[in-house]
């Protein structure tokens, strides 16, 4: 009786550990899904008027969305994408940054492994964007929406990985293991 | 209570608020002003108060949030003050363009309702230099945007400091 009880102990421990791991993965997925939803909402908001051009909702929300995104972007028409006859609420670079973060959040939903990057990658992702901004400012070459978009996309996706890994490695560890 | 604890968010939040109303800076730095203020805030706190390392994420989020709140208060106050003195602002100047875009939708009933509200705000600003609805609107939107971007800045600042000091 006692011997069988002893042999059950490791199995019990393994079961508890497996349940903990399962719960941790579930919470991690839930947290990443929340981030994905928030980013999806943000991207949906800045493209809302372009996607639903001509609708009542677009007419009502236009002035308010325009003001809200005016806080985070200059919204110059010559630097913004024209979609469906309407300019997006943010410039090409900001579109790239937010879409980069959004696309990476989709990848993060599928790939749940913990990531930890050195600062080097953050600096590397900044370089193309800074070079582009400096080149435009000093008129080395004229502004290109496509180039601004892709430099922003690269930067946005890298920053998202850093922020996600930092939150997961510091803050949500406590949540996962509670 | 350590008074220096609140100094970095106040200084950086005020700096960010001033920069957001300077024409030209906005088109150059886009959405980076408040996150940079958040980064600078946590860096200054680390230098002034010699906060213990590694910096905890709660601390970084708190500093980013505080910077965002301070930036919101100063940015709204400065906006209201400048509007009061000038009796005009970006919103009033952009209203004809906004009206043209909404008119493009050809939705008369909705257009009338939306435009009458916007025109009322514009008229208040032009006549009195102040509109309560406009002020509430900018306070709310500044609060949402600045706190989110401030927190992101705080987290990025924490990454920079922790990774640099751990090398």
pLDDT in tens, chain A (178 residues): 455 555 566 777 777 777 777 777 777 788 889 999 999 999 999 999 888 877 777 777 888 888 888 888 888 888 999 998 888 999 999 999 999 999 999 999 888 777 777 788 888 998 999 898 888 888 888 889 999 999 999 999 999 998 888 888 775 555 544 4
Instruction: Please list, in sequence order, all residues whose beta carbon lies within 8 angstroms of the beta carbon of residue B97, skipping any fewer than 6 positions away.
Output: none
The sign one gets for the Cα dihedral A13, A18, A21, A27 is negative
Q: Say whether A91 and B30 touch across the interface (CB within 8 A).
A: yes
State yes or no: ipTM above 0.95. Answer: no
Kindly list the distances between the CA atom of residue B60 and the CA atoms of A24, B26, B118, in Å, as whole numbers in the listed order: 24, 25, 39
Percentage of chain B modeled with pLDDT above 90: 28
pTM of the entire structure?
0.80
* pLDDT for position A7: 57
Report the residue of chain B nearest A134, measured CA to CA: B28
pLDDT at residue number B29: 62
Q: Structure tokens of B155? A: 């987290």
Q: From the CA of B40, how many Å to the nearest CA of chain A? A: 17
pLDDT score, position B26: 65
Q: What is the pLDDT of residue A178?
A: 47
Residue A82 sits at φ, ψ, to 5 deg, of -100, 115
CA distance A18 to A22: 6
> What per-residue confidence (pLDDT) applies to A6?
56
Contact B150, B37 (CB under 8 A): yes
Provide the greatest CA pair distance for chain B.
Answer: 63
Per-residue confidence in pLDDT tens, chain B, 167 aa: 566 778 899 999 999 999 887 776 766 666 788 999 999 999 998 888 877 778 888 888 999 999 999 999 999 999 899 999 988 888 888 888 777 777 766 666 667 777 788 888 888 888 988 889 889 988 988 898 899 999 999 999 998 888 877 65
Give the pLDDT confidence score for residue B109 in this predicted structure: 64
Question: How far is residue B67's CA from residue B33's CA, in Å, rounded to a whole number?
Answer: 11
Distance of residue B108 Cα from the nearest chain A Cα, in angstroms: 10
Partner-chain residue, chosen from A73, A159, A163, that has the shortest CB–CB distance to B30: A73
Written as six digits, the tokens of B156 are 């990025």
Distance from CA of A10 to the nearest CA of B (A): 35
Structural contact between residues B91 and B119, judged by C-beta atoms closer than 8 angstroms: no
Domain ranges of chain B: 7-86+130-166, 88-128
Go through B19-32 and write b for each residue having 16 or more CB atoms within 10 A of its CB, e for each that does not.
bbbeeeebeebbbe
The minimal CB distance from A62 to the residues B101, B152, B163 is found for B101
Residues 6+ apart with CB under 8 A from A118: B163
Q: What pLDDT, in 10s, does the model give residues B140-164?
A: 888 988 999 999 999 999 988 888 7
As a whole number of Å, the end-to-end CA separation of chain B is 33
């Amino acid at each position: 009786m006692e011997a069988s009880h002893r042999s059950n102990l490791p199995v019990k421990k393994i079961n508890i550990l497996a349940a903990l791991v399962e719960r941790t993965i579930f919470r991690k997925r839930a947290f990443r899904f929340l981030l994905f939803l928030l980013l999806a909402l943000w991207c949906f908001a800045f493209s809302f008027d372009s996607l639903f051009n001509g609708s009542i909702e677009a007419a009502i929300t236009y002035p308010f969305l325009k003001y809200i995104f005016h806080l985070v972007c200059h919204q110059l028409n010559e630097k913004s994408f024209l979609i469906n006859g309407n300019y997006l609420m943010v410039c090409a670079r900001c579109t790239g940054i937010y879409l980069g973060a959004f696309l990476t959040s989709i990848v993060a939903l599928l790939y749940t492994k913990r990531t930890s990057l050195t600062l080097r990658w953050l600096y590397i992702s900044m370089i193309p964007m800074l070079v582009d901004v400096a080149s435009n400012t000093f008129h080395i070459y004229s502004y290109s929406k496509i180039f601004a978009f892709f430099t922003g996309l690269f930067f946005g996706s890298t920053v998202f990985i850093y922020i996600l890994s930092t939150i997961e490695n510091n803050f949500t560890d406590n949540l996962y293991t509670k | 209570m350590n008074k220096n604890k609140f100094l970095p968010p106040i200084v950086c939040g005020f700096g960010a608020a001033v920069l957001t109303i300077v024409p030209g800076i906005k088109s150059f730095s886009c959405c980076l002003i408040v996150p940079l203020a958040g980064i600078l805030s946590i860096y200054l706190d680390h230098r002034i108060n010699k906060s213990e390392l590694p910096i905890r994420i709660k601390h970084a989020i708190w500093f980013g949030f505080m910077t965002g709140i301070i930036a919101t208060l100063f940015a709204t106050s400065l906006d209201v003050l400048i509007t009061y003195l000038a009796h005009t602002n970006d919103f009033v100047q952009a209203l004809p363009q906004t009206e043209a875009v909404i008119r493009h939708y050809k939705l008369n009933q909705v257009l009338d309702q939306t435009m009458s509200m916007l025109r009322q705000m514009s008229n208040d600003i032009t006549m009195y230099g102040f509109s309560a609805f406009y002020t509430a609107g900018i306070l709310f939107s500044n609060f949402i945007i600045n706190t989110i971007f401030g927190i992101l800045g705080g987290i990025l600042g924490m990454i920079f400091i922790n990774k640099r000091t751990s090398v």
